[in-house]
């Protein structure tokens, strides 16, 4: 048995000015190109990734594994055509050379300069190259689903957790029916559909109602015989027609059942759509609350940090990660014993390295990226501090999210103002793993505050140690205030941008 496995992953924030060339897909690699071939297989074997799951299933079958490319980029603006052409050609060439099965880990929310749906056209091309070859796709929960994915793939499985701690399991769920098809007998039948709703990302966590119950329903459907059941919350910071929530259910040759289960997922989500609305607290109130809470816990036995979420500027949603409003607020409020992860500013990193370990200096930090979509002009912050530590920024995740994966935040400096240890990085990275701090000599459990440019994924690594979480409304292209975004292309009406009483759904 010969299997082609590949990854091409990008969540595109169409409001983000952060560019997305091929080099951005080299996440984790020391070379400025995506992993390919045996190097890809070695990089992903035994990791908490969908490729890790594919490899596990393939090796259990004694299959020959061909991995033409394993490309993964942090979310950012639209993908450059040259990058897309390079990655898709690699995958198509490998399938054209012949195989018994195809397993792909795609995001489901890739937009390129030329395509609003990056994934569907690839799957369609592969179906044209290999009309009868079983094909399984693992997708992110933030998929904005376009119909070509369901039309041309045999099996689709989406993550059932957010933060995404089941990525490996999703790979296994996509792979097993494909193996069964190759061996003969299984006839996957897929139903998909959507509802006109854009759940707020800050309300999408699978630990929170209603997504908790929706994902539990999907898991129950699989336990009761569906080959896969997936509810996609969708990614709202993509101004494309079909941004929003959708569901896919795959059964063994039973379309009526697939449609019934799909509708159960969609109807439950629609009926509870108001619970996906997020209320914003003004930053001043959030920081005052943080200060009061710190004073109350002073001297007590309380162990663990208060988490301050700079959720408008998260690199894992396309944020530039260099807006300074929340960090400025933390410094002005006089909060002490803070570790702040992180400010993306390669220029500042170089200036701090030149200043030298142990030396005090004043620099213009962050604020290098204009955010035209929200009419924000870049503005750095003058910060004085001491260069405490310089690192190459490479570490492996401890998990539970993407355990074992090589991460790379580029040359990194811990810049200490006395009250705040500011982590300044050269390559985007959302803090979702304790190893991001530990590799810099900072134990997150022992800080009074952790400032995190994150929205939900931070929960994977830090929720269990946080004594309190305070959302801080700053500035950024993953703004939690949808009124700041000028939606031109998403289908209207759509909830909650519009009041929608009749869910005119799209379904195959
Ligand atoms: Zn996601």
Cα–Cα distance for residue pair 315/429, rounded to 1 Å: 6
Q: Over the stretch 161-194, which tens digit does the pLDDT of each residue have?
A: 999 999 999 999 999 999 999 999 899 999 999 9
Closest CA to 103 of 147, 146, 49: 49
Confidence grade of residue 200 (pLDDT, cut at 50, 70, 90): very high
How far is ligand 1, taken at its centre, from the CA of residue 142, in Å?
Answer: 5
Q: Over the stretch 3-16, which tens digit does the pLDDT of each residue have?
A: 999 999 999 999 99
Residue 491 placed within a domain? no
How far is ligand 1, taken at its centre, from the CA of residue 326, in Å?
Answer: 24
Residues 304, 448, single domain; the answer is yes
How far is ligand 1, taken at its centre, from the CA of residue 141, in Å?
Answer: 5
Residue 152 has pLDDT above 70, yes or no: yes
Residue 452 placed within a domain? yes
Residue 507 placed within a domain? no
How far is ligand 1, taken at its centre, from the CA of residue 299, in Å?
Answer: 39
Cα–Cα distance for residue pair 402/397, rounded to 1 Å: 7
Residues 391, 302, single domain; the answer is yes
- The total domain count for the chain is 2
Residues 268, 365, single domain; the answer is no
Residue 503 has pLDDT above 70, yes or no: no
- The pLDDT score that the predictor gives to residue 259 is 98
Confidence grade of residue 505 (pLDDT, cut at 50, 70, 90): low
- The pLDDT score that the predictor gives to residue 501 is 72
Residues 216, 240, single domain; the answer is yes
Confidence grade of residue 85 (pLDDT, cut at 50, 70, 90): very high
Residues 157, 17, single domain; the answer is yes
Residue 70 placed within a domain? yes
Crossing angle of helices 211-223 and 255-271, in 10° steps, is 160
Residues 207, 301, single domain; the answer is no
- Determine contact, residues 421/415, Cβ cutoff 8 Å: yes
Confidence grade of residue 499 (pLDDT, cut at 50, 70, 90): confident
The domain that holds 168 is classified in CATH as 3.40.50.2300
Residue 426 has pLDDT above 90, yes or no: yes
How far is ligand 1, taken at its centre, from the CA of residue 501, in Å?
Answer: 28
Residue 505 placed within a domain? no
Residue 269 placed within a domain? yes
How far is ligand 1, taken at its centre, from the CA of residue 339, in Å?
Answer: 25
Q: What angle do CA 287, 74, 450 make, to 5 degrees?
A: 25
- Show which of 257, 276, 295 is a domain's final residue: 276
Residues 227, 336, single domain; the answer is no
| Mean of the per-residue pLDDT values of the chain | 96
- The pLDDT score that the predictor gives to residue 301 is 74
* Residue 113 DSSP SS3: coil
Mean per-residue pLDDT, 480-504: 90
Crossing angle of helices 167-183 and 50-60, in 10° steps, is 40
Residue with tokens 């329903």: 217
Residue 508 has pLDDT above 60, yes or no: no
Residues 319, 233, single domain; the answer is no
How far is ligand 1, taken at its centre, from the CA of residue 92, in Å?
Answer: 25
Residues 246, 385, single domain; the answer is no
Q: Over the stretch 11-65, which tens digit does the pLDDT of each residue have?
A: 999 999 999 999 999 998 989 999 999 999 999 999 999 999 999 999 999 999 9
Please list, residue by residue across 401-427, b when 16 or more beta carbons sit within 10 angstroms of its beta carbon and e when fewer do: bbbbbbbbbbbbbbbbbebbbbbbbbb
Q: Over the stretch 278-335, which tens digit does the pLDDT of each residue have?
A: 999 999 999 999 999 999 888 777 789 999 999 999 999 999 999 999 999 999 999 9
Residues 240, 288, single domain; the answer is no
How far is ligand 1, taken at its centre, from the CA of residue 457, in Å?
Answer: 9
- The pLDDT score that the predictor gives to residue 303 is 83
Residues at Cβ < 5 Å from ligand 1 ion:
140, 142
Phi, psi of 306 (to 5 degrees): -90, 125
Pairing label, strands 406-408, 449-452? unpaired
Query: What residue numbers bound the domain in which 125 lies?
Result: 2-276
The Cβ of residue 48 has, within 10 Å, a number of other Cβ atoms equal to: 22
């Amino acid at each position: 048995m010969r299997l082609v496995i590949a990854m091409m992953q990008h969540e595109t924030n169409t409001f983000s000015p952060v560019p997305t060339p091929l080099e951005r897909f080299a996440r984790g690699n020391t070379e400025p190109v995506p992993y390919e071939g045996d190097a890809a297989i070695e990089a992903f074997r035994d990791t908490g990734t969908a490729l890790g799951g594919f490899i596990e299933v393939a090796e259990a079958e004694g299959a020959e594994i061909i991995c033409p490319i394993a490309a993964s980029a942090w979310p950012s603006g639209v993908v450059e055509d040259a990058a897309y052409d390079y990655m898709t050609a690699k995958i198509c060439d490998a399938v054209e050379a012949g195989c018994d099965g195809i397993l792909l880990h795609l995001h489901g929310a890739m937009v390129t300069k030329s395509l609003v749906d990056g994934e569907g056209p690839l799957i369609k091309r592969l179906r044209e190259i290999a009309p009868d070859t079983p094909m399984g796709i693992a997708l992110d929960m933030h998929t904005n689903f376009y119909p070509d994915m369901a039309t041309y793939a045999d099996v689709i499985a989406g993550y059932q957790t957010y933060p995404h701690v089941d990525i490996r399991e999703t790979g296994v769920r996509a792979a097993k029916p494909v193996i069964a098809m190759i061996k003969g007998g299984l006839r996957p039948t897929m139903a998909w559909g959507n509802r006109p709703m854009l759940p707020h990302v800050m309300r999408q966590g699978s630990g929170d109602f209603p997504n908790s119950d929706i994902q539990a329903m999907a898991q129950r459907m699989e336990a009761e015989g569906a080959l896969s059941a997936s509810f996609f919350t969708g990614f709202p910071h993509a101004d494309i027609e079909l941004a929003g929530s959708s569901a896919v259910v795959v059964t063994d040759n039973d379309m009526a059942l697939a449609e019934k289960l799909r509708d159960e997922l969609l109807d439950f989500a629609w009926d509870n759509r108001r619970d996906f609305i997020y209320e914003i607290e003004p930053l001043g109130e959030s920081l005052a609350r943080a200060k009061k809470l710190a004073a109350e816990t002073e001297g007590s036995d309380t162990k663990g940090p208060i988490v301050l979420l700079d959720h408008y500027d998260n690199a894992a949603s396309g944020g530039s990660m260099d807006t300074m409003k929340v960090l400025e607020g933390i410094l002005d409020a006089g909060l002490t014993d803070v570790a702040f992860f992180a400010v993306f500013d390669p220029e500042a990193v170089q200036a701090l390295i030149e200043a030298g370990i142990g030396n005090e200096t004043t620099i213009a930090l962050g604020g290098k990226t204009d955010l035209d979509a929200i009419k924000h002009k870049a503005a750095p912050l003058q910060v004085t501090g001491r260069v405490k530590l310089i690192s190459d920024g490479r570490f492996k995740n401890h998990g539970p999210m993407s355990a074992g994966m090589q991460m790379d935040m580029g040359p990194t400096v811990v810049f200490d103002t006395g009250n705040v240890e500011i982590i300044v990085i050269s390559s985007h990275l959302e803090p979702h793993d304790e190893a991001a701090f530990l590799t810099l000599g900072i134990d997150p459990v022992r800080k009074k505050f952790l400032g995190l440019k994150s929205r939900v994924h931070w929960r994977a690594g830090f929720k269990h140690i946080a004594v309190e979480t305070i959302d801080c409304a700053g500035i950024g292209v993953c703004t939690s205030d949808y009124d700041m975004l000028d939606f031109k292309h998403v289908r209207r009406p759509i909830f909650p941008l519009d009041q929608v009483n009749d869910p005119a759904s799209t379904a195959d």
